[in-house]
Amino acid sequence: MKQIFKSVLGTILIILFLAIIYTGLNSLQAETPDVPDGETPLYNTPGMITKQVPVYCGPTKFMLDLAAEKFNQQPLVAGTVIVPASGRKIAVLSVFVNKDKVSDMSVLMTMLDSNETCVLGYGKELKFYEGGEET
C-alpha cells in the first residue's frame, strides 16, 4: 500500500513540476502585438496598425474659423503630410495653440484634395518642452 501511495505521489509531483515549468516557459515567450485578422502591420512594423478613433471633420474655412474665433487659438506649427511611396502631398497637419499659450491646443489635418479639415486631437493643461525639459 505504501508503495502505491509513493508511486501516485511521485507521479503527481512530476506532473506538477512539469506544469510549473510549462507555465514559466509559456509566459517567458516574447510578446508580439496583436494584429487583427486580415490586417497587415504598417511599414512592416509589428504593432503599428490602423485604428478607428473619433475624428471631427468639417469644411476647412469653418474648422479654421472655429479654432481661431471660438477657441481663441492660433497656428503654432504646420507640416505637410506626404505619401512615402509616391511623394504626393495629401494634407497639411497643423497645431493650433490658445493665444494665452496655456489653456488648450488642437491638432488639425486639412486634406488638400477636398475642402475638409479634421480635428485629430484636443488637449488642455499645456506643457512646453525645450531640450527635453519642461519650461
State how far Cα 73 lies from the chain centre: 25
The pTM for the full model equals: 0.61
Find the helix or strand (DSSP H, E) in which 101 lies. none
pLDDT tens across 16-48, in order?
665 666 666 555 544 455 555 555 555 666 777
User: Mean pLDDT in each 10-residue stretch from start to end of the chain (135 residues)?
Assistant: 64 65 56 55 67 89 93 94 89 94 92 93 87 70
- Cell numbers found for residue 117: 479639415
Alpha carbon distance, N-terminus to C-terminus of the chain: 78
Q: Nearest to residue 109, comparing CAs of 70, 72, 67?
A: 67
Query: Domain segments of the chain: what residues?
Result: 52-128
Residue type, 38: G
